[in-house]
């Protein structure tokens, strides 16, 4: 029997699908769609209001009945044993060109394609190659369950079903492909198949008419449905055939899937475990097509389309890993979801089919802070940690070394300046070197370790010989590094870290792996993901304060949550969307006879969805996350914004992409979401490949300008280079001497019209990006000489002597060090080179201005 997913009772209210039944919510874009369109989830009810004289249901084949696992049809060609993808595509292009030249038609057969693709092969070799392609198609194809439900409904109503397809496959090959891919029960619902390669004409050239003539049916007796508006809808209507255009995806979803495919290409993934070489795998396409149009809430849609595919793939992989651990080591495999970031993986696991859920699972609160603290029970661990972490903020390190707040106040105090912080750090180091302090810390660490053991026992009650599978987002597995030996020795168990992303920076030799790890992706991909993954952490977490210890019974002691209530509410809706995706995946809107590359497909899916979201998020997604902040953990309560597009726009004008160096924001690609694609891809390529580009590589079109320094009784003139930054802007950086009362830049020599973006004073050290507190100070004492300001920031230089003059404003609380004035501007109209004059032409003007 054919098993299909039951579609919710949303039925169509008119033959033309103008609206949905009352109470059924859809997105506004759906409500505004054309009345001759049908959405994927509506397919089972397409005949509910069909006229009684309809006797034939005509269906397109590919992307209507048969869908592929991959993004594009040509992706299947990568799985061919005898041809490369481009060779197979080239063979088809040659065959069509020959057919157009000699027979004035475009339709060709698979045999004609292979005659061109393998011109020197004999007939048996070509037949074998054709058979291999048909087999590759069968592995890649599945039936879309809502379409099958429609077919079953048509049969129940007594209608005949025909498949009409523009394809190089013959009708016989196509019918056999359907049977091989999805089973004879589905193929048996079809009364006849019509292929353009047999007829020599496409649907746009009259194939539909030929099909109805062969079936001895009139135009008004048929209803045709297909995904191509021109070939399926317009061609049918031109012949008087009733038709509906199946809208697989809206434009936003199409763009998102296309960008995901692009990210997969840039990642260069090597799933390895798949028996096929199919590329462009997107196993979530059918789920998105069926369910996304029914989601009205933007936060839930974000969870469904982004977190859903990622964490469904993660949970699938975790189940495979648990089975492997069970087979390899015996005992019970206990799933420990490491809160806070393990919250969403746990929700997703619970949302899946009950028969797939772990028999022993628990939620444990083990932060990096408590894991590190619990590891400080030995002298070696103590000394090593002090040696590695000296240089942290002294208060943060002191808390990690388990000093009380009173002890921190006594040893460190409240330093505010760089000098005071340095002195406090030295006082702390001296304190930590004391033998008595080491004994106190190790005693407190032992208590922390005992509490952690009770916490684990309360969650899953492990027995000797069992395996604790630590489930977390990743990335280095620092908590596992700290407590692996502790858990093993205290509980007599094996420890296995299983992470969404695993990127070990040290060869620990511990049992760790990730859905996305070095066995399938190179180091550049892993680093690019981890550099921006804070947004996933914020969406996966729960509203709990970071754990700082345990009571005698193992119950977690936490800090108060620092995340705003509104942020938590949005996050919960996003997580609900991810759970909805998992439930939808469990309902399985596809029918197929085999799924030979499922593991590889879902890994590729997770990586491409993740990369696309991290580097190319769209406006709707970012509007959902606009108010989010991120906490940095390790005993710190510090919160930083995920992204700030407004600030980024100004920073780009001053520094170009190099403004990101040293930035504290955690989702920097989102800063660029409103910028052009060239800029966004430049950042993605730089982060993914680590190209090693320097600021000088971006400054090939500098402008040489004259600057003036005016002090008490002296002047200095120098030539500087204004370097390009972004979107046509340049920045001129003028070093400021302690004696300077004013500095000026002669813009008139290079520009007739200029747009002034900003004038700011910064430390020269800010160019290194090593400090996060090097914010530029806007200069307000700015005057213009020989310039007219026609609107804010838009200046007309009256002649070549025109200049911008800045009076530095010194603050008593600013950090010492060399300073500079940064003038960001964009030439609107440049001055002809022959009219430019040097600094001598501006002396009189400068004297007047001074």
Counts of helices then strands in the chain (DSSP H, E): 31, 29
Model confidence pLDDT, tens digit, residues 164-204: 999 999 999 999 999 999 999 999 999 999 999 999 999 99
pLDDT given at position 813: 53
CA distance 786 to 744: 13
CA distance 279 to 238: 37
Phi/psi of residue 698, nearest 5 degrees: -100, 5
Residue 463 confidence (pLDDT) above 50? yes
CA dihedral 55, 61, 63, 69 (to 10 degrees): 140
Q: Whole-model pTM?
A: 0.89
Q: How confident is the model at residue 417 (pLDDT cuts 50, 70, 90)?
A: confident
User: What does each C-alpha distance from 200 to 169, 195, 229, 344 come to in angstroms?
Assistant: 12, 9, 21, 54
Model confidence pLDDT, tens digit, residues 592-613: 999 988 889 999 999 999 999 9
CA distance 745 to 760: 13
User: What does each C-alpha distance from 545 to 568, 631, 633 come to in angstroms?
Assistant: 12, 10, 10
Ranges assigned E (strand) in 371-516: 467-472, 494-501, 512-516
Buried b / exposed e along 388-400 (16+ C-beta atoms within 10 A): eeeebbbbbbbbb
Model confidence pLDDT, tens digit, residues 293-327: 999 999 999 999 999 999 999 999 999 999 999 99
CA distance 810 to 816: 11
260 sits in the region (left: phi over 0; alpha: psi -120 to 50; else beta) called: alpha
CA dihedral 391, 393, 397, 398 (to 10 degrees): 120
Model confidence pLDDT, tens digit, residues 782-838: 999 999 999 999 999 999 999 999 998 776 555 567 889 999 999 999 998 644 444
User: What does each C-alpha distance from 184 to 58, 128, 155, 180, 325 come to in angstroms?
Assistant: 19, 24, 15, 8, 38
E strand or H helix at 447: helix 435-460
Q: For residue 353, what are the contacts with CB-CB under 8 A and spacing of at least 6?
A: 586
In this structure, the strands spanning 333-339 and 467-472 are: parallel
pLDDT given at position 774: 59
CB neighbour class for 338 (10 Å; exposed up to 12, middle 13-18, buried from 19): buried
CA distance 850 to 848: 5
Among candidates 252, 482, 470, which has minimal Cα distance to 363?
470
Model confidence pLDDT, tens digit, residues 613-670: 999 999 999 999 988 876 554 444 556 778 899 989 999 999 999 888 877 788 999 9
């Amino acid at each position: 029997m054919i098993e299909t997913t039951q579609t919710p009772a949303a039925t169509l209210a008119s033959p033309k699908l103008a609206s949905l039944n009352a109470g059924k919510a859809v997105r506004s874009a759906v409500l505004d769609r054309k009345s001759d369109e049908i959405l994927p989830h509506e397919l089972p009810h397409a005949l509910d209001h069909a006229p009684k004289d309809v006797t034939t249901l005509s269906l397109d084949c590919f992307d209507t009945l048969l869908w592929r696992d991959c993004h594009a049809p040509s992706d299947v060609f990568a799985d061919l044993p005898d041809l490369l993808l481009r060779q197979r595509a080239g063979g088809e292009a040659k065959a069509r060109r020959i057919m157009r030249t000699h027979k004035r038609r475009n339709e060709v057969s698979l045999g004609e394609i292979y005659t061109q693709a393998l011109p020197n092969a004999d007939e048996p070799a070509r037949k074998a190659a054709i058979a291999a392609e048909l087999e590759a198609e069968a592995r890649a194809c599945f039936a879309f369950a809502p379409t099958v439900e429609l077919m079953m409904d048509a049969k129940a109503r007594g209608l005949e079903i025909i498949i009409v397809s523009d394809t190089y496959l013959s009708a016989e090959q196509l019918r056999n492909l359907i049977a091989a891919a999805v089973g004879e029960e589905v193929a048996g619902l079809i009364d006849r198949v019509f292929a353009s390669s047999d007829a020599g004409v496409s649907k746009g050239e009259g194939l539909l008419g030929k099909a109805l003539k062969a079936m001895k049916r009139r135009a008004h007796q048929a209803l045709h449905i297909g995904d191509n508006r021109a070939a399926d809808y317009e061609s049918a209507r031109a012949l008087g055939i009733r038709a509906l255009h199946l809208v697989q995806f809206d434009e936003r979803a199409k763009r998102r899937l296309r960008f995901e495919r692009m990210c997969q290409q840039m990642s260069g993934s090597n799933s390895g475990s798949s028996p096929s070489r199919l590329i462009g795998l997107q196993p979530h396409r059918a789920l998105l097509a069926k369910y996304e149009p029914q989601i009205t809430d933007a936060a839930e849609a974000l969870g469904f389309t982004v977190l859903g595919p990622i964490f469904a793939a993660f949970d699938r992989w975790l189940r495979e890993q648990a089975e492997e651990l069970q087979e390899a080591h015996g005992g019970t495999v206990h799933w420990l979801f490491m809160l806070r970031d393990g919250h969403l993986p746990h929700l997703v696991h619970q949302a899946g089919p009950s028969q797939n859920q772990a028999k022993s699972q628990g939620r444990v609160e083990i932060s990096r802070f408590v894991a590190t603290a619990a590891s400080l029970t030995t002298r070696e661990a103590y000394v090593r940690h002090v040696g590695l972490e000296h240089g942290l903020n002294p208060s943060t390190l002191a808390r990690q070394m388990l000093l009380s707040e009173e002890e921190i106040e006594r040893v460190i105090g409240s330093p505010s300046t760089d000098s005071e912080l340095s002195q406090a750090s030295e006082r702390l180091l001296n304190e930590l070197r004391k033998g008595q302090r080491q004994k106190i810390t190790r005693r407190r660490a032992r208590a922390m370790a005992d509490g952690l053991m009770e916490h684990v026992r309360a969650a899953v009650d492990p027995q000797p010989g069992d395996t604790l599978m630590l489930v977390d987002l990743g990335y280095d597995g620092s908590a596992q590094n700290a407590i692996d030996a502790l858990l093993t020795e205290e509980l007599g168990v094996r420890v296995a870290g299983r992470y969404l992303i695993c990127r070990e920076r040290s060869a620990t030799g511990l049992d760790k792996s990730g859905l996305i790890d070095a066995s399938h992706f190179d180091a550049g991909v892993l680093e690019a993901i981890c550099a921006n993954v804070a947004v996933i952490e914020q969406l996966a977490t729960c509203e709990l304060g970071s754990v700082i210890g345990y009571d005698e019974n193992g119950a977690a002691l936490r800090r108060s949550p620092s995340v705003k209530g509104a942020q938590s509410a949005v996050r919960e809706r996003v997580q609900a969307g991810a759970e909805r995706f998992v439930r939808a995946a469990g309902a399985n809107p596809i029918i197929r006879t085999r799924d030979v590359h499922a593991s590889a497909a879902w890994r590729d899916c997770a990586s491409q969805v993740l990369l696309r979201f991290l580097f190319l998020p769209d406006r709707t997604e970012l509007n959902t996350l606009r108010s989010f902040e991120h906490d940095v953990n390790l005993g710190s309560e510090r919160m930083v914004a995920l992204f700030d597009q407004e600030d980024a726009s100004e920073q780009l004008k001053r520094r170009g992409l190099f403004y990101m160096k040293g930035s504290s924001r955690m989702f920097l690609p989102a800063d660029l979401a409103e910028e052009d694609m060239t800029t966004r891809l430049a950042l993605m390529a730089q982060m993914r490949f680590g190209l090693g580009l320097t600021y000088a590589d971006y400054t090939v079109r500098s402008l040489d300008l004259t600057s003036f320094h005016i002090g008490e009784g002296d002047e200095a003139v120098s030539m500087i280079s204004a370097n390009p930054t972004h979107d046509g802007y340049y920045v001129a950086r003028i070093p400021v001497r302690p004696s300077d009362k004013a500095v000026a830049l002669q813009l008139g020599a290079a520009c007739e019209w200029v747009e002034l973006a900003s004038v700011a004073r910064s430390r020269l050290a800010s160019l290194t990006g090593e400090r996060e507190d090097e914010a530029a100070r806007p200069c307000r004492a700015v005057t213009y000489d020989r310039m007219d300001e026609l609107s804010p920031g838009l200046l007309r230089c009256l002649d070549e002597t025109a200049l911008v003059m800045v009076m530095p404003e010194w603050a008593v609380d600013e950090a010492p060090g060399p300073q500079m004035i940064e003038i960001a501007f964009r030439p609107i109209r440049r001055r002809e080179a022959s009219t430019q004059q040097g600094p001598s032409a501006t002396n009189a003007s400068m004297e007047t201005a001074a």
